[in-house]
Structure 1
Amino acid sequence: MPPGAAPSGRFDRLDALRAVAILWMAVFHFCFDLNYFKFIHENFYRDPFWTVQRTVIVTLFVFVSGLGQAIAWEQGQSWPRFWRRWAQVAACALLVTAGSYLMFPRSYISFGVLHAFAVMLIIGRLTAGAKLWLWPMGLVAVLLPQLVQDPFFDTRLTNWVGLVTRKPITEDYAPLLPWIGVMWWGIAAGQWVLQQRRPWLAGPLPQRLSPLAVLGRWSLSFYMVHQPVLISLLMVVAALVR
């Protein structure tokens, strides 16, 4: 499971969709690593080709996690089960901070995607019962950072909220606002689909796509392992060709 709820019953279609997001992310990170080792020369911080991709990938991840939260809420997931999964996500977020500090001490990740998930999962769990109210709540959360900014939120201790006047210098930044809005939309959409179009999520997955479902079930592990593997391989290649 990705940073998201772990329902007791599997929904192969949702797992496969999660795998699509994780594979797209891996390709994006591989290109980033190629640039870091100067095999290619791209601007991942300003070029819309890369910045828009990053936004779409995170949006897909968060929305799919919201769908997973809707399933967990419908199945009555227990708090102990929730906290076990949450602890895994939170621990991985701390590891990301530590690892990024070693590679990028001036722009290490203090509040990236996994940190955001650790916060949003709790909020999503507590607010899933809002049902239809999740749609306007999500809209407010998405629009608020465009309407309200204050220098108070520009520090590392406060930029996690998202109401910054400038993007912080960091390798990954996924603030609570606007991303909690996308999760709320995912939860709301998941609740509607489960009630009105359940086969969209619960229907069978074609056999040829079953590997995607398997990958989707292990997406957090894949997330944590893929970058160290890619970076190690490129370090070896760089040492051999230079």
Structure 2
Amino acid sequence: MSAVSTLSAAPSPRLRLGVVDGARGLALLAMFVFHFAYDLSYFGLIETDVPSDPAWRWFARSIAGSFLTLVGISLVLATRNGLNRPAFLKRLAMVAGAAALVTIATFFAMPRSFIFFGILHHVALGSVLALPFLRLPVAAVATAAITAFALPFLVAHPLLDQPALAWLGFSRAPIVTADFVPVVPWFGCVLGGMVLARLALPRLSGSRFATWRPASLPARILAWGGRHSLLVYLVHQPVFIGALMLALQLSPAPPASQERGFMLSCQSSCAAGPLGAEACERLCVCTADSLKREGLWAATLADRLDAAGRDRVSALAQACLRPGGKP
């Protein structure tokens, strides 16, 4: 879910804190749990509706927040002796390239809900936006973090509802995407990590946390994953999905799981926007009924729609959002 170690690893081994790698590894482990549960739910292999379940949604948000907090912590660690500009730019290019790869892959794999601004996009942009804050007093950075968290509740304008500006985080319109981590309020987590690091680092010097190194095999595996989080992020979902698809080939899911998969995907995409779980469920039921009436249901499930068909699906979903559609 994050490229923290790739983007903001310390420029020299002596600046690296094993406890940060371990924390990042634990966050990766939590990410595995969520994504595997999400995939099981998507394929109809478990009864729990993971995308719309409040507990699972808060779990996912806590994972994203922990990774972005670690971005801020790692950025402070990496610049204690000054910014290594060539190394930073190289790592930034790697994360930005990985983000572009995710966008392209999801556009072809699931064009209705492709990822246009997910966690990797935020890690890349947030790391650049955070650079000026390295020179500011801690109080100013903390104030900026609080402001970032508050802005989505304070700022609203029809212009900000335009799809091209959705990545900023102010849009009140439904946003259909599999992963959405806009600039606000999530940049507040990056700034919060910077505050935490700047307050804690002077107290860590010479402490047990500063000198901790993974000794047991599980701890070494966690730390290794934390040091290579970009690679782990890019590989884990294809592995999970491939394993589940192979399992379904050996033991096919019932036909009803196709409709369930559509509903789960629809509700997950809807949940990334401002609508609540109940409104999203009504919206997706309305959209599915409309697709069946229009004869687009089978083509939608098989993802065989052309551009005109996708536009019609979007129009039907928008109609369900209006009062007459009763989403």
TM range (shorter): over 0.9
Q: Percent of aligned positions with the same letter in both sequences?
A: 32
Q: For the Cα contact (< 8 Å) 2:204–2:210, is it kept in 1?
A: no
Q: Which digits, 9 at most, give the CA deviation of each residue in 1:36-88, with x for residues without a partner?
A: 21112333333211110111000100111111011012132311110000011
Change in 2 beyond 3 A, CA 1:89/1:200: farther
Q: Which ranges of structure 2 fall in alignment gaps of 5 or more residues? A: 253-327
Q: In the TM superposition, what is the alpha-carbon distance from 1:131 to its structure 2 partner?
A: 3.2
Q: Which digits, 9 at most, give the CA deviation of each residue in 1:204-242, with x for residues without a partner?
A: 135122221111101110000001111111111011101
Code of the aligned partner of 2:197? G
Detail structure 1 runs of 4+ shifted over 4 Å in the superposition: none
Q: Which has the higher contact order (CA 8 A, sep 6+)?
A: 1
Counterparts of 1:1-242 in structure 2, within 5 Å, are: 2-3=3-4, 4-8=7-11, 9=13, 10-132=16-138, 133-198=140-205, 199=207, 201-208=209-216, 209-242=219-252
Instruction: Tell me the SS of whatever aligns to 1:68.
Output: helix
Q: For the Cα contact (< 8 Å) 1:21–1:57, is it kept in 2?
A: yes
Once residues 182 and 73 of structure 2 are traced to their aligned partners in structure 1, the CA distance between those partners, rounded to angstroms, is 20
Greater shift in the superposed pair: 204-213 or 178-187:
204-213
Once residues 19 and 193 of structure 1 are traced to their aligned partners in structure 2, the CA distance between those partners, rounded to angstroms, is 20
Q: For the Cα contact (< 8 Å) 1:100–1:109, is it kept in 2?
A: yes
Greater shift in the superposed pair: 163-172 or 129-138:
163-172
Greater shift in the superposed pair: 141-150 or 49-58:
141-150
Q: For the Cα contact (< 8 Å) 1:35–1:41, is it kept in 2?
A: yes
Q: In the TM superposition, what is the alpha-carbon distance from 1:200 to its structure 2 partner?
A: 6.6
Q: For the Cα contact (< 8 Å) 1:161–1:176, is it kept in 2?
A: yes
Once residues 203 and 37 of structure 1 are traced to their aligned partners in structure 2, the CA distance between those partners, rounded to angstroms, is 44
Q: For the Cα contact (< 8 Å) 1:193–1:201, is it kept in 2?
A: no
Q: For the Cα contact (< 8 Å) 1:70–1:188, is it kept in 2?
A: no
Let me know the Cα RMSD of the aligned residues.
1.6
Q: How many residues align?
A: 242
Once residues 157 and 51 of structure 2 are traced to their aligned partners in structure 1, the CA distance between those partners, rounded to angstroms, is 22
Q: In the TM superposition, what is the alpha-carbon distance from 1:201 to its structure 2 partner?
A: 4.9
Q: Which digits, 9 at most, give the CA deviation of each residue in 1:109-158, with x for residues without a partner?
A: 11111111111010112321113111011000011112222332233310
Once residues 130 and 212 of structure 2 are traced to their aligned partners in structure 1, the CA distance between those partners, rounded to angstroms, is 27
Code of the aligned partner of 1:2? A
Change in 2 beyond 3 A, CA 1:200/1:61: farther
Once residues 34 and 211 of structure 2 are traced to their aligned partners in structure 1, the CA distance between those partners, rounded to angstroms, is 30
Instruction: Tell me the SS of whatever aligns to 2:191.
Output: helix
Change in 2 beyond 3 A, CA 1:67/1:110: same
Q: For the Cα contact (< 8 Å) 2:24–2:70, is it kept in 1?
A: yes
Code of the aligned partner of 1:12? G
Once residues 116 and 184 of structure 2 are traced to their aligned partners in structure 1, the CA distance between those partners, rounded to angstroms, is 16
Once residues 209 and 144 of structure 2 are traced to their aligned partners in structure 1, the CA distance between those partners, rounded to angstroms, is 24
Q: For the Cα contact (< 8 Å) 1:131–1:188, is it kept in 2?
A: no
Greater shift in the superposed pair: 135-144 or 99-108:
99-108
Q: Which digits, 9 at most, give the CA deviation of each residue in 1:161-203, with x for residues without a partner?
A: 1111144111000000011111011011111111233337523
Change in 2 beyond 3 A, CA 1:200/1:143: farther
TM-score, scaled to structure 2: 0.71
